[in-house]
Amino acid sequence: MRVLGIDCGTERTGYGVIDTDGRQHQFVAAGCITSSTKDPLEKRLLNIAGGLRGLFSEYRPDYAAVEEVFFSVNAKSALKLTHVRGVALLTVAEASVTFAEYSPLEVKMSVVGYGRAEKAQVQQMVTAILKLPEPVKSEDACDALAIAICHACHLPMLALREQARRKVVA
């Protein structure tokens, strides 16, 4: 199965693509969709949507996952981030890909085993889990890979829930 993790941001939207069987994870791609801070928000959102559509077309993921919005001190930044999440969710829906979202705590727990882990710890574990020769340089791309790994770790449980739901319905 292929999972696309998306780390939403107005300047840099990170992405990470992995192949997984739910236990073993293999790196496919990672990077950032960048937008100029000089551009108005609507143009940045259009750029992000186009970049995400390109990723869905190129990598054809079975699943996509994003991090839930966490509330920060700066409400204006949180609102802009919410716009980017909306664009991400729209492109996921357009691609007809199964979607999931996780809190930052869930992502860190899945990857590091500690919900209050620092960025460097997440980067170190992503490198180890994916058996990369060197750490992913972009924090946004690394966070996106962590989101993809988090979803991959949840896939076996999600499959069991779906089987149980089908039995109840039948």
Indicate if the alpha-carbon torsion angle 143, 144, 149, 153 is positive or negative. Answer: positive
Q: Are the C-beta atoms of 94 and 53 separated by less than 8 Å?
A: yes
Q: Is 118 one of the catalytic residues?
A: no
52: Cα within 13 Å, side-chain hemisphere: 33
Residue among 7, 21, 68, 162 flagged as catalytic: 7
Residue among 67, 68, 106, 134 flagged as catalytic: 67
81: Cα within 13 Å, side-chain hemisphere: 17
Residue among 11, 94, 118, 140 flagged as catalytic: 140
* Helix, coil or strand: residue 13: strand
Q: Is 67 one of the catalytic residues?
A: yes
Q: Is 7 one of the catalytic residues?
A: yes
Mention every residue, 6+ apart, whose C-beta is less than 8 A from residue 60. Answer: 2
133: Cα within 13 Å, side-chain hemisphere: 0
Which residues are identified as catalytic? 7, 67, 140
